[in-house]
Chain A
């Protein structure tokens, strides 16, 4: 697929998503908002996973830092959207710089375990530091800011949806540029063969750290959105079990195609909706779907679809 048709595909997707609230019932506007937020979280996670070959098991804690940063500003400061984002995103950037610095020199399982450990520490802070974080209740009861441009209120679910779409699209745009950049190339090289990369003169840890910060910052942005969407920040989104979500979404949708994790997020929620209307134990069904995907379609749903579509002369040859 050429650059032109890719751009059109992206714009078409964006336009389709923008039109959704006008046609789907309100309930689905809520679901779709959450899908978008989780999509950004899964996509930012995949900069490390698909991009650098690093399995971060603490991504939710950075998401949580974003949510708490925004909640703290809205609770104690002025009702400013800009400030809420600055606090949440800036906080996540800072925390990922520190955690990343301590993790990127390790590989594979050691990296995963370290990120898991730091994630647990951050969860504990959020859960136990009652005076600041509100403990297990979290932070809530703040007024939502209005949009500075049009004066629209984020209380309106459609406005919230469109605002989320705009932020997520911007975040995905950033990821796309990074993915295609010189940096993205070196990062992929580090995934392919980190040792060889060092022997052509790259400090692998430096590239990984940069990726960790970009990834964590965007996860923080997703966290800010989640805080606005729920009008609260709670410690459960920082729990390590929550960190499994972006992993599942990336694997489900496909970590080797750019939009795979976002697609995985959509599939995740669609599945959840379909199953929870029938039975309570939807995790069983998720597991039952995930296992064949991992075993037979390791490129994920979208990855497999893309490969089928782009296989030249399908049906004629082979």
Chain B
């Protein structure tokens, strides 16, 4: 197996004004290994993703993706390289239909965004592909509805559909089960497992819910007050006294 990390973050730091949110964070995501970044709320997980995906320019450190230095690249350039992300707070195109939501990234991916003349729904290859993706995510019966009208769990899955449409190499999922009911959570975990196993896409997710992480991740990083506290397999993390201490014991047990 390829031993070069797909994502190699070296010594990443980020400050808001004088407030240090991330300090010297180094993370490696190996291809095909489902990696997780865990930590309590406020640990800096979302900020870390924002620095990696091009929303923020980190104040220190380096981000290397697929052998290429992407530090400070704007979001759309990062996305075009195959590093995609979903958002903790649902971030889709609310006024567009479910089908249109997925057609947007497909159109961009096919380099057809600057077609001024041809009707977008008369692009059978793209529409077919969109329906296929929606089918796979269990949204096939919702294609014609406005995205804003969908229940919360379905919106979260559109969030994933937008990412899948771009044939990514690496997907950052920021708390993909945030705010979900237990049933929706189970469904989402099942979906991530299946995609990770069958699509050839590498996933890197954050969570504050330990149960979710221990059940899906191959490798875990623990972020605490903006620093990497520990890393290792789920078993190693579970047994790590520093991690237990940071989480005040108990709550690590599934």
Contact (Cβ within 8 A) B117 A197: no
Number of interface residues of A (CB under 8 A): 27
Determine if B115 and A182 form an interchain contact, defined as CB atoms under 8 angstroms apart. yes
Neighbouring B residues of A204 by C-beta, 8 Å: 76
CB contacts (< 8 Å) of A186 on chain B: these are 104, 107-108, 113
Residue on B with the closest CB to A210? B114
- Find out whether the CB atom of A189 lies under 8 angstroms from the CB atom of B93: yes
Assess the A185–B100 pair: CB atoms within 8 A: yes
In the complex, what's the smallest C-beta–C-beta distance from B205 to chain A, in angstroms?
Answer: 16
Q: Is the CB of A182 within 8 A of B91?
A: no
Judge whether B91 and A193 touch: CB under 8 Å. yes
Q: Which of A51-80 contact B (CB under 8 A)?
A: none
Query: Of residues A182, A186, A189, A202, which shows the largest number of chain B Cβ atoms within 10 Å of its Cβ?
Result: A182
> Taking the nearest CB of chain B, how far is it from the CB of A54, in angstroms?
15
Are A182 and B120 in contact (CB-based, < 8 A)?
A: yes
CA–CA, A197 and B120, complex, Å: 17
- The answer to whether the Cβ of B6 comes within 8 Å of any Cβ in the partner chain is no
Cβ-defined contact, B123 with A182, below 8 A:
yes
Check B166 against A177 for contact (C-beta < 8 Å).
no
Which of B15-23, B77-85, B193-201 is the interface stretch? B77-85
* B206 at interface, CB cutoff 8 A: no
CB neighbours (8 Å) of A177 from chain B are: 116-117, 119
Q: Which residues of A contact B92 (CB under 8 A)?
A: 193, 196
A181 touches B117 (CB 8 A): yes
8 A Cβ contacts from B81-138 to A: 84-85, 87, 91-96, 100, 103-105, 107-109, 112-121, 123
List residues of chain B with CB within 8 A of the CB of A178.
116-117
Give the shortest distance, in Å, between A248 (CB) and chain B (any CB): 23
**A-chain residues with CB within 8 Å of residue B116 when the two chains form the complex:** 177-178, 181, 183-184, 210, 214
A180 to B122, CA, bound (A): 10
Given A180-B120, A183-B114, do A201 and B108 touch, yes or no (CB 8 Å)? yes
Instruction: Tell which of A182, A196, A214 touches B107, judged by Cβ atoms closer than 8 Å.
Output: A182
Residues of B within 8 A of A202 (CB): 76, 108, 113
A181 and B93 contacting across the interface, CB-CB below 8 Å: no
A202 and B94 alpha carbons, distance in the complex (Å):
18
B113 with A183: CB separation less than 8 A = yes
- Chain A 166-186 per-residue mask, 1 if CB under 8 angstroms from chain B, else 0: 000000000001101111111
Chain A residues whose CB sits within 8 angstroms of the CB of B84 once the complex forms: 199-200
Chain A residues within an 8 Å CB radius of B123: 182
Contact in complex: B120, A181 (CB < 8 Å): yes
Question: Which of the residues A180, A181, A197, A214 comes within 8 Å of B104, measured between beta carbons?
Answer: A197
> Cβ of B103 and Cβ of A185 under 8 Å apart?
yes
Separation in Å of the B229 CB from the closest CB of chain A?
A: 29
Nearest chain A residue, comparing its CB with the CB of B53: A199
- Shortest beta-carbon distance from B55 to chain A in Å: 8
Given contact pairs A202-B76, A202-B108, A195 touches B100 in the complex (Cβ within 8 A): no
B74 contacts the other chain (Cβ, under 8 Å)?
yes
Q: Is A188 an interface residue (CB 8 A)?
A: yes
Query: Does chain A have a CB within 8 A of B75?
Result: yes
**Given contacts A180-B120, A192-B94, A198-B75, is CB(A185)–CB(B107) below 8 Å?**
yes
**Contact in complex: B76, A203 (CB < 8 Å):** yes
Closest to A203 in B: B76
CB contact list, B162-212 vs A, under 8 A: 162-163, 165-166
CB within 8 A of A189: which of B55, B96, B112, B115? B96
Closest Cβ–Cβ distance, residue B46 to chain A (whole Å)? 14
CB-contacts of B30-84 with A (<8 A): 53, 55, 74-76, 79-80, 84
Bound Cα distance A199, B53 (Å): 8
A132-B226 Cα distance, complex, nearest whole Å: 63
In the complex the two chains form, what is the Cα distance from A117 to B92 in whole Å?
Answer: 33
Measuring CB to CB, which residues of chain A are less than 8 angstroms from any residue of chain B? 177-178, 180-186, 188-189, 191-193, 195-204, 207, 210, 214
CB-defined A-B contacts under 8 Å, sample of 17:
A177-B116, A177-B119, A178-B116, A182-B114, A182-B115, A184-B120, A185-B107, A186-B104, A188-B96, A195-B91, A196-B92, A196-B162, A199-B84, A199-B91, A201-B105, A201-B166, A204-B76
Q: What 6 A-B pairs are tightest by C-beta distance, nearest first?
A: A201-B79, A192-B93, A200-B105, A182-B115, A185-B120, A198-B75
